[in-house]
Structure 1
Amino acid sequence: MNKLSAFALGALALAAVTTSSPDLHAQSRYVPAPGRPVAAGDDASSIAYNPANLAFLPGAELRWTMAQAPSAVGTTNGHAFDLGLPFLGLATGLRVDLLDDPSDFAAAGGARQQWLRWGLAMNLGDSLALGTTFGWSYADSLSLDDQFGVTSGLTFRPATWLSAAAVARDWTTNADRRYDLGVALRPFWGRRLAELGLEASIHERTREVTPRATLGIDVPRVGRLRGEVSVRDLAQSPDLTAMVGLDLNLATFQAGGGAIFGGGDVGYYATAAIRSYREPGLPTPKRVARIRINSTPGVRNHVKLLRRLWRLAEDRSVDGVVLQLRAEPASSLAHAEEVGDAIRLLRASGKKVLCHLEDAGGRSLHVCSQADRIAMNPAGGLRFAGLSSQYMYYGGVLDKLGVRADFVRVAEHKLAAEQYTRKSSTEIGRQDHIDLLTQLEGIYMHDVGGGRKMPLSTLRQTIAKGPFIASEARGGGLVDVLAYDDEIDEFVEETMGGRARIVDDAAPSNAPTWWGSPSKIAVVYLSGDMVDGESQTIPLVGIRLAGSYTIAKALKRAREDSSVKAVVFRIETGGGSSLAADVILREAILTAKAKPFVVSMGTAAASGGYYAAVAGGPIFANRATITGSIGIFYGKVDLVGLLGKLGVGLEQFRTAPRADAESLYRPFTDDERRELGVKVKQFYDLFIARVADGRKMKPEDVDAVARGRVWTGQQALERKLVDHIGGLREALEFVRARAELPRDTELVEFPEDDDSALLALAKLAGIASVFPQAGAVPIVIPPALLDLARGLAPFMVYDGTKPLARLDLVGDVSFGGAPATVDDEL
C-alpha cells in the first residue's frame, strides 16, 4: 500500500479522535460472529471484531448474521448485515447492527439500538494489515442515541501457519476500553484444514480478562465445523460459555448456524452470505465447461490456457470440456503439443473433451485430434494439406537498394547470415531446412494419427487431398460430425450420453489456502529477440525484444524472493546478442545454484536462447521445440551505395587504419575481415565452453553437434543437448518434486508483461494483432510485406559491432488455415 493510502487512513483516525465527544461512556455493541477468531476469520463480519482482517477478504461479500443467546452469556442479540469490498490493496465495508436485547436496555424503557459502522483496512504486503472501524449509534432513547466509537486492529501473519492480532475497541471514548490479543494456528502444514484460535479480551477499567478459544475444521465436501469456548469473570466466579456450529458452502453461497450454550440455557445463531469467492464445501452440480478461443494465444496466454485446462482436469464438478476454436489454439507445433498434452490430461482425469471448428488449420487438427470427438461447422473447412516452410533471402533487395551486407560466421550450418548476403540458400542450408521440416512432419503425423486412430499411410493419403470443405473433412475421418453453432449443445449432450449443463468457463476466485506469503514457483520468461539493455517492443513489425537487463533482474528477483522456492526458466527465443545471452546465463547459473531450477523450452530455444539455457539445471523440451543452432556470426551493412543513389556525398577521416572499421559507410578490408574471423572464432569457442560446462560434456563433443545446426527437441535429446522430453507441465512437476512442494503451489510470473502503452491503445482501438513474437502488427501493413519488414528489422535492432547468436528467420512453418493472429489477452 502506498504512503498516500496510509496517510489517508491515519487522517481519518485522527479526525475520529478529535471529533469524538469526551463524555461518551457507553460501550459500542455488536452482534457476535460465533467461532471466528480475532486473528483469522477473514470475512465481512470482521468489520466488527477486527477490521484489519477486512484487508484479507478474498472478494466482495454480503453477509447476514443473527444471534439469540441465553441472557447469562452476555452476548448482544439481534441481526447484523455486512458488506465488504476489497480493492487494490485496500478494503472497505459497511455494517448495520439491529440490536435486540431487552435485558440490557431495560433502563432505557426497552428501547432498541442500531449501530452503523464503516470499516477501512489496508494490506501492507502479504503478511501485515491495519484496519479501523468508525461506528455511530441510533436509538429512540437519548441515553443510547448518538454514540460514537472507533475500533482499530492490526493483524500480522509471519508464517503460513501463524496469525497474530491486536485490537483496541472504543479507544476514543471514556467507555470501558477493551483490548483483544490473539493468535491463530494452522498446524497441518499451514493449510486451512484446521485452525485453532487462542485469545484474551482485557477490560481497561475493570482489569477483567476473558480468555477465549476457537476451533475451525474443514469437513470435506460439506463446509466448516466451528466451535468456541470462553470464560467470563475468570478471577471470581468463572462463567463458561460455548458454541458449536456448521457452515455449509455451495459455490459462492454460504449458510450456517449452530447452538450457543451458557448459564444452563441454550440459544442459537444463524448466518448466510453471498460472496464473489468460494470456500471448500458441497459439490456443485456437474457441468461441461466451454472455452472459446477467438485469437491464437501468445507466449503468456498460451501458459494461461494450459493452466486453465490443468485446473479443469482437477475440478470434480467438471464432466467435460468443449473447445470452440475460432482461431488456431497454438502459434507453433511445440505449443500445440502442450495443449494436446493438457487435453490428454483432461481425458485421463475422466473428462470428455470435444472440439468445434469453423475455418480451421493444421494446428487445430493437431490439438483436437487428442479430443474425444470433433465437430465442424457445415459451412466451414479444414485448410490443411501438409506442412511447408519458407525462408526469405534479402541479398537481392539489398543489392537493389545499394546496401551491402558484410558478415563473418563460424560453423557451416549457421544460416542466419546467409539470409542477408544471398538470394537463395546454399546446399547445406537447403538440406538443413528440409530435414527440419521432415522432423516436424513426423511429430505432427504421429500425434494426429494416434489421436484419430488412423494408420500413418491412410493419414498421409488423406491429408494429401487437402484442403477440405467440411463434408470432405468428415468423409476423410478428420472430423466426426457437422454441426452449426446452435447445435453445439446437442453435440455435447450426445457425446456426454445425456443432458449436460454447459457453462462458459471462468476461473473461480477461491479463498486463500494459506496465510501470509506461501511458497511459490516463479516462471521466468525469456521471450523475443535477445538484445542488450532493457526489454522493448517494435510495434510496427511485431518484434518483442528481450533485454538482458530485464531478464537478468527477473532471475535475480526470483532468486532473492524468500517465498519463491523453485524457478522454471521458460525460454521462447531464437537468440540474438551473444553478450545478452551471457549476461542472462550468469544470472541463471546463480539462480540454479540457489534454488531448484529447471529450463522449459517452448517454440524455440535456439542459438542465444540455447546459450542461456545451459545454467546447469535440467532442460525440458517439446519434441517440436527448435533448439541447438550453436554458432556465432558478426557483421554489418555498408550503406555507401544507398547514399550514392540518394545523392548523398560522404567523406571520412581516421587516425588509424581500423578506427572506422565498424562504420556503416564502408566495407571491411581484407585485413579487418581476417581479424574479425579470429574474434568470431573466440566467441564461438566461448559458446562451446559454456555449453560444455553446463551440460557436463567435452568441448569436442559439443562441437560435433554444434556447427550452427538446428535440432528439434527429440533430436536434441538424442544428442544430450536436453535432458527430458516434456512441456511446461512436466517441468513444473519435476521442480515441485525437487523442492518438495505441493501440487497447488502458487505460480508467479517474471518479468511483468511489458506491452507498451502504444500496443495497449492499438489493441483497444481494434487496429492491432499480436504475432508469435508477442509484438503488435497494425493491419495497415499489407500481410505480404510483414515477413519482409520483420526480416530486415535486425538492421534496426542490432548494433553492427556486436556478435550475434541468432537463429535464421523462418517466415512460417505453415499448417494451413488463415494467418494466425496472436493475442495475449485471453
Structure 2
Amino acid sequence: MRLLALLLLPSLALAQTSSIVQAPLPSRGLTLPPTGAALVDEATALSLNPAGLGFVRAGQLFYLHERNLEQDSTADGVFLGAKLLGLGLGASMEWMRPRHGPDYRRTSLGLSLGAPTLQLGASWHAFGSDDEDVDSLDTFDVGLTARPARYLSLAAVAKNLNAPEEGAFKIERAYDFGLGLRPLGERFTLGVDWLFSEGAFRQGQATYTLQAEVIPGLRLGGGVSHGFVDAVPLALQLAVTVDTGHFGLTYAAGGGENGTNHVAQVRLSTENYRSLRPPGGVVTMLDLNDVLAGGGSPLLSLLGVSEADPFLRLSRWLDLAAKDERLSGVVLKMEGLPGVDWGKAEELRQAVLRLRASGKRVMAVLLSVDDLGYFVASAAERVYALPESSLHVNGLAATLQTYGGTMQKLGVTWDVARVGKYKTAPEQLTLTEPSEASREVVNAYLDNEVAWYERAVTQARNVPVEKLRELQAAGLPTPQLALKLGFLDGLILPSELDGKVRELVPGGRFSATYAPRDEREGRWGTRRRVAVVPVLGTIAGGKSREDPLGFSRIAGAETVVRALEAAKSDPSVVAIVLRVDSGGGEVLASYLMYQAVLDAAKVKPVIASMGDAAASGGYYAAMGATEVLALPTTITGSIGVFYFKPALEGLLGEKLGVSQETLSRSPMADVFGIWKAWTPEQQAAVQQWVDTSYDMFITEVAKVRKKDKAEVDAVARGRVWSGNDALARGLVDRLGGLQEAVESARRHAGVPASEELDLVLMGEARGFFSSLGGEPGVQAALALLPAPAEPFPSALRELARQAGVDLEMLRPGMKAMMPFTLTVR
C-alpha cells in the first residue's frame, strides 16, 4: 500500500506531497497545520518552501508530533530556524514510522537570501533507514517567495529537482505554485496552491487555506484539498493555535478517506509573537534619564559605531507606544533629562499628553527634578514624589557671561566684523559686561519661556499661577510643600509603588522589558518610509561626528548632503524630515546644507523640525524646506554672520617676551594673522566680506520665505527669537515638534492617514575616526569640506560650554552662529 494513500490531504500536506512510484516512500515529511507555499514563513518552511526561511527574524524551534490512529502510523520532527548575516537558515530532523513500509528519518538543511519582499531559498533532504535503498536517497528543493505588497504573496517551488531513484524507489520531480491574499489586513489570510508532478499538470491537487487571528494570541486555521481527477480524494483539516510571547501550542486534526490525522505542534522562539493579552494590559516604567543618556560604548563610538540619537529614539518609542494596544500604563521615572532643553522638553510633554489621549494611564515619580523636569512630569495624570525627593523647582533664570575683562588682563584684543547689533557672539570676549542688545534679546526670550512654562504647569495641575510662584519662592521646596500647594498627588515610599500602579491600572501586568513593536508582525511587503535627516550640533565641513564622551557634536555638511541625496533617490522614502537642533556654525557648510534641502524639496516634501535651537546656520539649513515647524520655545532666527580673530601681540609679545616679524608683499597678506590687530584697510575689507555674506543670507531668506528683503533685514541682524515670536514674524510656518513634522510629511506626500509609515534615520553622527564610505554625488563631493581639526580637548570644550562659551567660535572662518550659549534653568 502506498504511503501516499495514507495522507489526510490537509492543505499543507497536499502542497508537500510528491508522487511515489513503485515503492511506499514519501518525500514530504510531516504533515503541518494549514498553510501554503506562499504563506509559510517560519522554521517549518524548510519542509514546504525554503524561501520562507528568509522571513524568520530570530531563533525558532518547532516540535511536531503526528498520529493516525486508524492507520497506526506516527511521526515526530524538530525544526530549527534562525537569521544570520542576513541569511535565513533552517535545519530539521523528522522520524517517520508508517504502518506499511520501512521506518525512515529525513534530515534537512536549507537557507534563503534576498530582500524583505523577495526571497530565494534552497534545501537538501537526506533519508536514513535500515533499508539500504532508502538510506541512499536524497533530494533538493528550490523555492521563491515574492511579497510585493501588504495584501499579496506569491510562491513557486520546485521539489525533488534531482528526481532520485534507488533500487525499487523513485521520487518524481514536482512543482508547487502558491498564492496568498490578505484583503482585510493581517488578521485574515487566504491561500491557494496547485501541486503537480512533472508532466502531470492536469492531474495536480488544489489546496485552499484560511488563517484567522480571532483575538491576539488565538489563531484558527482551516484547509481543504481536492483534485480534478478521481485519483485525488477530498480532505479537510482544522487547527487552533494559542500563542504567548515565546511559546506557542497548535493542535490540528483532519480527515480524508484514510481516517483522522492528529498533529500537535509546540513553538519556542526568541522572537516575540502576538500573545494573549492580560485583562488589564501591560504597564511599563520609562526611565527618562537612562534612555536619554544613551549608554553607548565610548570605544565603539570612537571607532564609528553608534546608535541613533537618544532623543530621536525616545520620540519614536513614545509614538509607537501610544499606538500599541498591549500597553495600558506608563510610569515615568524622573531623575534628570540629559541633552534636553526647553524645546525638546515641550516635545516630551506633548508625547506624554498623546499617550494619555490614546487611553494610556501615565504616572510620574519624581526623584530629582528641576523646573524643566517638572514641566515634563506635569503632563502625567498623577505625579508622586518620595519624602526625600529633590525638587529644584525655583524659577527660571538665564546667565550671560563676558570675558572682556579677562582679555584685558591677558593683553589680548579682538578684531571683529559683524552685521547688526544683535549678532553679539564676539561680545563675550570683547566686552566687560553684556550689551543692552544682549539683555534685550535674552529678556524677551526669558519672558516667553516663563509665560509658556507657567501656563502649561498651572493648567495641567489646575492651580493658580500664584501657587507656582509660591513654590518657586521657597528656593528648594520640600515634597511636602509641593503636595500642599497641589503640585503632587501624593508622597509614596518605594514599597508603595506597586500598589499605586495597581490603582492606576487595575489588573495591569508590569513588564520591565516591554518595547513597542517588539512582536512578530508577519506583515507582507514593506512600509513606505519617512527619512529623518539630523542636523545636530555645531555645523561644520566634513562628516557628522561626536566625541566618545558626548561633549561635542558636529553636524557635518558632507554627511547631511549625502543623506538628503540618498533620501531623495530612495523610492521607498516618500518624504524627508530635517531635524535641526543647532545653534549654527560655518557659513559655507550651512549654505551647502540649505542648497541640498532646496534640491531635495524639488523631488519630495522636506519638512524642517526645529528642536531646542535652529539658529543662525541652523536656521539657514532649515529654511529651504517645504514647511518649517518650530516649538514655542525653540531658539530660532539669529540671521546674521560674523568673523573675528584675536590679536595676541599684547599677551605673547609684551607679557611673555615673544617676538614676531611678518614680511609680506600685500597689505592684506596678514589679514587673518593672530599677532597684530587689523589696520583700518583690513577692517574695511573684512567688513565688506561679512556684509556680502549677510546680504546673500537675507536674500535667500526673502526668497524662500516669500518676503521683502527689507522686511527680512528688520527681523534679522542677529536677533534671536523664540518659536512663538518667529511664527509671528513669518520665519516659520507653524508650531509643532517632530511628531507633527512627520504627520506634515505624510500629508504633503499624499499618504493616507490609515497607512502605516516607517521612520528611518539617515545621516546620523559617527565617531571622530569613522568613515561613511561610498561614492558621493557631485553636490556631496562639493560638501567634502575639510573637517576642522580638534584643537580643544573634550573636557575643555565641556568646561567652556558650562561657562557659556562655544569654543567653535574660535575656529578660523566666517560664522553663522548664535550670539551666545543660552541656558535657561
> Would the TM-score normalized by the shorter structure come out above 0.5?
yes
CA distance in 1, matches of 2:799, 2:614: 27
> In structure 2, what is the equivalent of residue 817 of structure 1?
none
Cα distance change of structure 1 residues 295 and 237 upon mapping to structure 2, 3 Å threshold = closer
State how far apart, in whole Å, the 2-side matches of 1:397 and 1:540 are. Answer: 29
1:568–1:732 contact (8 Å) kept in structure 2: yes
Q: Answer whether contact 2:633 2:724 (CA < 8 A) is retained.
A: yes
Q: Decide whether the 8 Å contact of 1:27 with 1:170 is kept in 2.
A: no
Compute the RMSD of aligned alpha carbons: 3.2
Shift of the alpha carbon at 1:533?
2.2
Secondary structure of 1:390 counterpart = coil
Amino acid at match of 1:657: P
Match status 1:805 vs 2:816: yes
Would you say 1:536 and 2:551 are equivalent positions? no
Matched, 1:165 2:146: no
- Of residues 35-44 and 281-290 in structure 1, the stretch that sits farther from structure 2 once superposed is 281-290
Q: Deviations over 1:717-741 (max 9, x none)?
A: 1112112212112222222233314
CA shift digits 1:122-145 (9 cap, x unpaired): 3x3323333333433333444433
CA distance in 1: counterparts of 2:436 and 2:351, whole angstroms: 39
Q: How many residues align?
A: 758
Could you list the per-position Cα deviations for residues 149-184 of structure 1 after superposition, in whole angstroms to 9, with x for gaps in the alignment? 443333344444444434343435624353434343
> Quick one: which of 673, 676, 689 aligns to 1:663?
673
| 2:28/2:47 contact within 8 Å kept | no
**One-letter identity of the residue aligned with 2:329:** G
Amino acid at match of 1:440: E
The residue type paired with residue 546 of structure 2 is T
- Could you say which residue in structure 2 is the equivalent of 1:502? 510
2:118 to 114, 119, 128: 128
Secondary structure at the residue paired with 2:511? strand
Q: Is the contact between residue 329 and residue 336 of structure 1 (CA under 8 Å) also seen in structure 2?
A: no
Q: Percent of pairs identical after alignment?
A: 31
Q: Residue in 2 aligned with 1:770?
A: none
1:467 Cα deviation from its structure 2 partner: 1.2
Q: CA offsets, 1:388-414, max 9 Å, x none?
A: 122332334444444433221111111
Cα 1:623–1:780 shift into 2, 3 Å: closer
Corresponding residue to 1:276 among 249, 263, 270: 270
Aligned-partner Cα distance in 2 for 1:38–1:686: 62
User: Cα distance, 1:610 vs. partner?
Assistant: 1.0
- Which of the numbers 289, 305, 326 marks the counterpart of 1:317? 326
The Cα of 1:429 is off from its aligned counterpart by 1.0
Displacement of 1:222 in angstroms is 5.7
| Code of the aligned partner of 2:345 | A
What secondary structure, in the 3-state scheme, does the structure 2 residue paired with 1:734 have?
helix
Please give the alpha-carbon distance, in whole angstroms, between the structure 2 residues aligned to 1:86 and 1:338. Answer: 37
Q: State the match for 1:450 in structure 2.
A: 459
- Is residue 747 of structure 1 aligned with residue 759 of structure 2? yes
Specify the alignment match of 2:698 in structure 1.
Answer: 688
- The DSSP-based 3-state class of the residue aligned with 1:717 is helix
Q: Aligned pair 1:627/2:627, yes or no?
A: no
Which runs of structure 2 are paired with 1:485-564 in the superposition (5 Å)? 485-496=494-505, 498=506, 500-507=508-515, 508-512=517-521, 514-538=523-547, 542-564=551-573
Closer, same or farther: CA 404–178 of 1 in aligned 2, 3 Å: farther
Contact 1:127 1:157 (C-alpha < 8 Å) held by counterparts: yes
Deviations 1:307-338 (A, max 9, x none): 32333322333332111223237611111111
**8 Å CA contact 2:41, 2:52 repeated in 1:** yes
Would you say the 8 A contact 2:331–2:364 is kept in 1?
Answer: yes
Gap change, CA 1:46 and 1:757, over 3 Å in 2: farther
> Is the contact made by 1:168 and 1:177 (CA closer than 8 Å) also made in structure 2?
no
Correspondence 1:778-797 to 2 at 5 A: 787-788=802-803, 791-795=806-810
Alpha-carbon shift at residue 278 of structure 1 (Å)? 4.3
Q: Say which of 121, 135, 141 aligns to 1:145.
A: 135
Q: Would you say 1:92 and 2:71 are equivalent positions?
A: no
Partner-residue secondary structure (3-state), 2:622 = coil
1:463 counterpart SS class: helix
Report the Cα offset of residue 710 of structure 1.
Answer: 0.9
The one-letter code matched in structure 2 to 1:90 is L
Judging changes above 3 Å, is the alpha-carbon distance between structure 1 residues 215 and 502 closer, same or farther for their aligned structure 2 residues? closer
Structure-2 separation of matches of 1:697 and 1:70: 84
Q: How does 1:191-590 map to 2 (within 5 A)?
A: 191-204=185-198, 209-221=204-216, 223-232=218-227, 237-263=231-257, 265-280=259-274, 282-285=276-279, 286-295=281-290, 297=292, 300-328=309-337, 331-496=340-505, 498=506, 500-507=508-515, 508-512=517-521, 514-538=523-547, 542-590=551-599
Compute the displacement of 1:616 (Å).
4.0
TM-score (structure 2 length as normaliser): 0.84
Q: Tell me the alpha carbon deviations over residues 514-539 of structure 1, each in whole angstroms, 9 at most, x when there is no partner.
A: 43443111111110100122223355
Distance change >3 Å, CA 264–CA 427, structure 1 → 2: same
Separation of aligned partners in 1, 2:371 and 2:73: 68
1:499 Cα offset (Å): 5.5
Q: How does 1:71-86 map to 2 (within 5 A)?
A: 78-86=75-83
1:341 and 1:515 mapped to 2: Cα distance? 32
Q: Give per-residue Cα distances to partners, 1:448-477, cap 9 Å, x unaligned.
A: 111111111221122111212333333333
Work out whether residues 417 and 642 of structure 2, in 8 Å CA contact, stay in contact via their aligned partners in 1.
yes
Q: Which residue does 2:4 correspond to in 1?
A: none
Q: Give the Cα separation in 1 of the matches to 2:73 and 2:414.
A: 86
Q: Give the direction of change, closer, same or farther, for the CA distance of 1:100–1:410 in structure 2 (3 Å limit).
A: same
Could you tell me how far apart the structure 1 residues matched to 2:577 and 2:656 are?
A: 51
Alignment partner, residue 155 of structure 1: 145
Distance change in 2, residues 1:173/1:378 (3 Å): same
Shift of 1:550: 0.5
Amino acid at match of 1:239: P
Unaligned runs of 5+ in 1: 1-23, 759-774, 815-826
Q: Does the Cα contact within 8 Å between 2:800 and 2:806 map onto a contact in 1?
A: no
More displaced stretch, 206-215 vs 338-347: 206-215
Residue in 2 aligned with 1:730?
740
In structure 1, what is the Cα distance between the partners aligned to 2:410 and 2:804?
Answer: 14
Deviation at 1:606, TM superposition (A): 1.0
> Which residue is 2:8 aligned to?
none
Match of 1:47?
Answer: 46
**Structure 2 CA distance for aligned equivalents of residues 404 and 26 of structure 1:** 95
Partner of 1:14: none
- Native 8 Å contact 1:166 1:179 kept in 2: no
CA distance in 1, matches of 2:534, 2:84: 28
Equivalent AA in structure 2 for residue 718 of structure 1: A
1:393-440 Cα offsets, whole Å, 9 max, x none, are 233444444443322111111121222322321111112112211211
Greater mean deviation of Cα atoms: 687-696 or 94-103: 94-103
> Take 1:740 and 1:490, find their aligned partners in 2: how far apart are those partners?
44
Q: SS where residue 443 of structure 1 aligns? A: helix
Amino acid at match of 1:262: G
Q: Quote the Cα distance in structure 2 between the aligned partners of 1:502 and 1:187.
A: 34
Equivalent position SS for 1:277: coil
